[in-house]
Chains A and B, each alone.
Chain A
Amino acid sequence: MFWHNFKYTLKTLARDRMLIFWTFAFPLILGTLFQMAFANIESSEEFSPITIAIVENDAWKQRTVWNEAFTKLSEEGSDEQLFHTRYTSEEEAKELLETDEISGYLMMKDTPQVVVDASGINETIFKHVCEELIQSETLTDMIVEKQTAKWMANPDQMINDPAWQTRLYEEVNEILQAETTMVQDASPTKMSYTMIEFYTLIAMTCLYGGVLAMVAMNRNLADMSDSGKRVAVSPASKGSLVLSSISAAYVVQLLGLTLLFSFTCFVLHVDYGENFIGLLGLAVVGSLAGLALGICVAALCKRNEATKTGILISITMLGSFLSGMMGITMKYIVDTNFSWLNRLNPAAMIIVRLTRYWIRKRNRKKLCFIVRFTIS
C-alpha cells in the first residue's frame, strides 16, 4: 500500500502545474532576478575618484603645500588618486555645484573654505582631506617651533655647526615620519552579503515544500477530496498512507532543491563557499521544516486548497521578508530589536545557519531548532 500510494502521489504532484511553478520555476526566476539586481552592488562599494573644483585665486597660488597635495591626490591613474580636480573661478565653481557636476569646491581665503551642497560620503572625504592638510600644517609648525627653540637655547652649538638649518630640517622630518603605532587588520575575509539573498532563496524553497505536503495531505483528508473520502473508508493503515504521501512530497521537494542548486551553481555561478556539503545537508533538513509547516496548515485549517496555498505562501513570503530577502538590513533590524520574532521564523533560522556556514562559525543550536520545528 505504501508504494502504491507513493507512486500515485508522485504522479499527482508532478501533474499539478501550480505546484511545479512554486517548487521549480519560482525559485529559479527569483534567483535570476537577484543575480541581475545585486550583480554590481559590492563592486560599487569600491572607491572611485570624487570630482571637485578649486577656486584658483591668489590665496590659493600662495599655498604651495596645498597645491602640491591636491596635484598629487588628483594624479590620474595613480593608486593614491582621490579626486578629479577642476581649477575654476568662483562663479564657475558655484555653477558646477548647482548642476551637480562636482561634489564640492574649495576656496582659499585666510582659512580654507569648503563649499558643498549635501552631506554624503564624498563631501565628508573632501572635508576630511582639507582638515588633514590644515592639521598637518599646524603639526609641522608646532614641531618646527619646538625644535628651533631647542637650537636657540644652545647658541654655541648653532655657531659651531654651519649646517644647523639642514640638521633642524632633518630632525623635523624624522619626527614627522617616525614609525607610528601599527594598525593590524583582522577583517573577516568573507563579507559578501549578497550571499544572504541566495540563502533566503534556499530557505524559501525549503518552506515552499509546505505546499507540496499540503496537496499530498489533502489527498488523504475526507473533507478535502474525493480520494480522501475513499481513503477514509478503506481498511488500509492511515499512518502508512500519510507517511507515503509525505515521502512523495519530500522526494519532489528534493528534486526542486537539486534543480535550484544546479541552476545557481552552474548557470548563475554563485559561490556557496567551502562548506557546501553542510549547506546541502541543511537544505535537506530545512525542507522537512517546510513539509511540517504544510502538514500543519493542511491538518489545522479547514478551508479549500486555494486558501491553504495562500496561507502557506504568505507565511513563507513574510518569513523571507523578515529574514532579509528584500534587503538584508531587515534581518538585522529584526534580529536586534525583536529577536524572538526571527526565532519563531524557520526561514530566518535556516538563513542564520547558512550565514554561519558562510562566516564559518558553527552553531548547533540553530540546527536543533529546525529539527525541533519539524518535530513539533
Chain B
Amino acid sequence: MDTEAKQEEALFYRQIHYIITIPEHFHSDFMDGEKPQLVVKSTNDYEASLAQMQLERYLNAANALRFISESEAELVANMEAVFSETTEVTMTSKLDTAGLNKAAFYYNFVNYALLAGCIYVICLILSSFQQEPVRKRTLISSMNFAKYHRQLLLSNSLLAIALWGFYVLISLILVGDVMFSEYGRAYILNSFVFTLCALALAFLIGNLVTNKNAMNGIINVIALGSSFLCGAFVPMEYMPDFVLRIAHLLPSYWFIHANNLIKGIKTFDSAVYRELLIHMGVVLAFALLFVVLAYLIGRKRRKIA
C-alpha cells in the first residue's frame, strides 16, 4: 500500500483491518530503552481487535525480555522461546468451512439472479400471449383454459430450469470441490426447489401485469426487495429481528435460510433432512399458491370487454 489514501480506502472497504506503521529508527530506539511509538490504523472490529491483541502481546514480551537479555541475539532467542509455546488445538469437524461459506454466499446471491432472470424472461414471453389479437384467437379456440394454462406453465418451466442449470454449472466452476459432495447436492436440490417457486411467481406476475413498461419496475422491486429483506446480500445474522420476521412471509427467506443451514451441517442425519425438507416444503407451498393464484387470475381475465 503505497499512499495514505489507498491505505484508508482499503480500511474503509474492510479489505485490510489493521495497518501498523513502524517509524524510522524504531529498532535502535527500542534497543536503547527509549519508548518509540508505533502508529496504527484499525477498523475497530473483531479482526482489528485480534491484531491489536497480538501486537500488544508481542510488544509486552519484547519489552520485558529486553531487561533480562544481554545482547540482541539473546533477546531474539528468548522471544523465540516464549512464542514457540502454543496451545494444542483440536478441530473436531473436518468441514471445509471456507468452501461451504463460498457455496452459501454464491447460492444466496443466486436468489436474486434466479428471481430477476425468471421474472424477466417469463413475463416477456407471457406478454406476447397477452396481446389482444393473440388472446382473442386463443380464447375462441377449442382448447380449454386449464390445458392452455398448464401448457404455458410447463413450457416456461423449461426456461426456468435452463436458467437454473446455467447457475449450477457456474457454481461448479466457481465454488469447486464442495459442490461435488453431499453439501453440493443439497445446495443444488434446494436451488432447484426455489427455481420452481421463482417460476410460479414469474408466472403469476406475467398474468397480473400486461404493461411491458411496468414490468421492469416490478421485477426490480420484487427481486431486489426480497433479496435485501431475506439476507441474500447481507448475512442474516447481521439483520435486525423485525426485518427477518417480515421476511418469513417471503419464499426467499426459506431458500436462503436452508442455504445457511446446509453450511452448518455436521452430519447428514434424519433430523437434518427433516429440517431441510420442511424449508423446501414451505418454498413449494409458496410455489403452489402462486400457481393457483395465477390460474384464478388468468381465468377471471378471460373476458375481454
Tell me if B210 is interfacial: C-beta within 8 Å of chain A: no
Q: Which chain A residues (334-363) contact chain B, with CB distance < 8 Å?
A: 336, 355, 359, 361
Are A18 and B214 in contact, CB atoms less than 8 angstroms apart?
yes
Q: Chain B 209-224 against A: per-residue CB contact (8 Å), 1 yes, 0 no?
A: 0001110110011001
Chain A residue nearest in CB terms to B11: A188
Given A128-B54, A138-B82, A185-B42, do A29 and B221 touch, yes or no (CB 8 Å)?
A: yes
Given A26-B217, A181-B30, A310-B216, do A193 and B12 touch, yes or no (CB 8 Å)?
A: yes
Chain B residue nearest in CB terms to A336: B15
Minimum distance in angstroms from B30 CB to a CB of chain A: 7
Tell me if A375 is interfacial: C-beta within 8 Å of chain B: no
Q: Which of B38, B46, B53 has the most A CB atoms < 10 Å from its CB?
A: B46
Interface stretch (choices B85-93, B170-178, B282-290): B85-93
Interface stretch (choices A113-121, A252-260, A274-282): A113-121
Are B91 and A134 in contact, CB atoms less than 8 angstroms apart?
no
Query: Which residues from chain A contact B53 at a C-beta distance below 8 Å?
Result: 128, 132
Are B229 and A188 in contact, CB atoms less than 8 angstroms apart?
no
Query: Which residues from chain B contact A49 at a C-beta distance below 8 Å?
Result: none
Are B67 and A175 in contact, CB atoms less than 8 angstroms apart?
yes
Tell me if B151 is interfacial: C-beta within 8 Å of chain A: no
Q: Which chain A residues (161-204) contact chain B, with CB distance < 8 Å?
A: 175-176, 178-188, 191, 193
Question: A114 contacts which of B44, B46, B63, B87 (Cβ < 8 Å)?
Answer: B87
Given A182-B35, A361-B8, do A139 and B220 touch, yes or no (CB 8 Å)?
A: no
Question: B217 contacts which of A18, A37, A46, A185 (Cβ < 8 Å)?
Answer: A18
Are A183 and B43 in contact, CB atoms less than 8 angstroms apart?
no
Query: Which residues from chain A contact B54 at a C-beta distance below 8 Å?
Result: 128
Q: Chain B 248-271 against A: per-residue CB contact (8 Å), 1 yes, 0 no?
A: 000000000000000010100000
Q: Please count how many residues in chain A sit with their CB below 8 Å of the partner chain's CB atoms.
A: 82
Query: Which residues from chain B contact A305 at a C-beta distance below 8 Å?
Result: 213
Q: Chain A 2-35 against B: per-residue CB contact (8 Å), 1 yes, 0 no?
A: 0000000000000001100110001001100110
The SS class assigned to the B binding surface is helix
Interface stretch (choices A68-76, A142-150, A240-248, A364-372): A142-150
Are B85 and A138 in contact, CB atoms less than 8 angstroms apart?
yes
Are A36 and B266 in contact, CB atoms less than 8 angstroms apart?
no
- Docked Cα-Cα span, A361 to B45, in Å, equals 23
Tell me if A331 is interfacial: C-beta within 8 Å of chain B: yes
Minimum distance in angstroms from A218 CB to a CB of chain B: 13
Are A186 and B41 in contact, CB atoms less than 8 angstroms apart?
yes
Given A118-B93, A309-B213, A361-B5, do A186 and B68 touch, yes or no (CB 8 Å)?
A: no
- Docked Cα-Cα span, A305 to B212, in Å, equals 11
- Docked Cα-Cα span, A310 to B93, in Å, equals 49
Are A327 and B233 in contact, CB atoms less than 8 angstroms apart?
yes
Q: Which chain A residues (109-141) contact chain B, with CB distance < 8 Å?
A: 111-121, 124-125, 127-128, 130-132, 134-139
Are A178 and B67 in contact, CB atoms less than 8 angstroms apart?
yes
Given A22-B217, A183-B40, do A332 and B8 touch, yes or no (CB 8 Å)?
A: no
Q: Chain A 296-313 against B: per-residue CB contact (8 Å), 1 yes, 0 no?
A: 000000000110011001
Are A191 and B12 in contact, CB atoms less than 8 angstroms apart?
yes
Minimum distance in angstroms from A186 CB to a CB of chain B: 5
Question: B89 contacts which of A114, A137, A361 (Cβ < 8 Å)?
Answer: A114
Minimum distance in angstroms from B256 CB to a CB of chain A: 12
Are B90 and A142 in contact, CB atoms less than 8 angstroms apart?
no
Chain A residue nearest in CB terms to B43: A191
Question: B238 contacts which of A44, A97, A128 (Cβ < 8 Å)?
Answer: A44
Q: Which chain B residues (58-97) contact chain A, with CB distance < 8 Å?
A: 59-65, 67-68, 78, 81-83, 85-93, 95, 97
Are A182 and B38 in contact, CB atoms less than 8 angstroms apart?
yes
Are A175 and B12 in contact, CB atoms less than 8 angstroms apart?
no
Are A186 and B39 in contact, CB atoms less than 8 angstroms apart?
yes
Given A37-B233, A112-B88, A176-B64, do A187 and B35 touch, yes or no (CB 8 Å)?
A: no
Query: Which residues from chain A contact B192 at a C-beta distance below 8 Å?
Result: none
Query: Which residues from chain B contact A336 at a C-beta distance below 8 Å?
Result: 15
- Docked Cα-Cα span, A336 to B87, in Å, equals 37
Are B13 and A331 in contact, CB atoms less than 8 angstroms apart?
yes
Are A183 and B55 in contact, CB atoms less than 8 angstroms apart?
yes
Are B213 and A306 in contact, CB atoms less than 8 angstroms apart?
yes
Question: A115 contacts which of B83, B90, B112 (Cβ < 8 Å)?
Answer: B90
Given A134-B85, A181-B36, A181-B59, do A100 and B217 touch, yes or no (CB 8 Å)?
A: no
Are A313 and B216 in contact, CB atoms less than 8 angstroms apart?
yes
Are A21 and B217 in contact, CB atoms less than 8 angstroms apart?
yes
Q: Chain B 127-145 against A: per-residue CB contact (8 Å), 1 yes, 0 no?
A: 0000000000000000000
Tell me if A224 is interfacial: C-beta within 8 Å of chain B: no
- Docked Cα-Cα span, A182 to B112, in Å, equals 48
Minimum distance in angstroms from B6 CB to a CB of chain A: 10
- Docked Cα-Cα span, A63 to B119, in Å, equals 64
Tell me if B24 is interfacial: C-beta within 8 Å of chain A: no
Chain B residue nearest in CB terms to A310: B216
Given A127-B89, A191-B11, A355-B12, do A138 and B81 touch, yes or no (CB 8 Å)?
A: yes
Q: Which of A21, A111, A137, A187 has the most B CB atoms < 10 Å from its CB?
A: A187
Query: Which residues from chain B contact A46 at a C-beta distance below 8 Å?
Result: 45
Q: Chain B 192-217 against A: per-residue CB contact (8 Å), 1 yes, 0 no?
A: 00000000000000000000111011
Tell me if A41 is interfacial: C-beta within 8 Å of chain B: yes
- Docked Cα-Cα span, A329 to B10, in Å, equals 10
Query: Which residues from chain A contact B91 at a C-beta distance below 8 Å?
Result: 116-119
Subset of 10 A-B contacts with CB under 8 Å: A39-B243, A113-B87, A114-B89, A116-B92, A121-B47, A128-B50, A135-B57, A178-B64, A180-B35, A183-B56
Known: A142-B78, A184-B39, A185-B42. 13 other contacts (CB 8 A): A30-B224, A45-B44, A46-B45, A118-B91, A128-B53, A132-B53, A136-B61, A139-B65, A176-B64, A183-B55, A185-B40, A186-B39, A310-B216
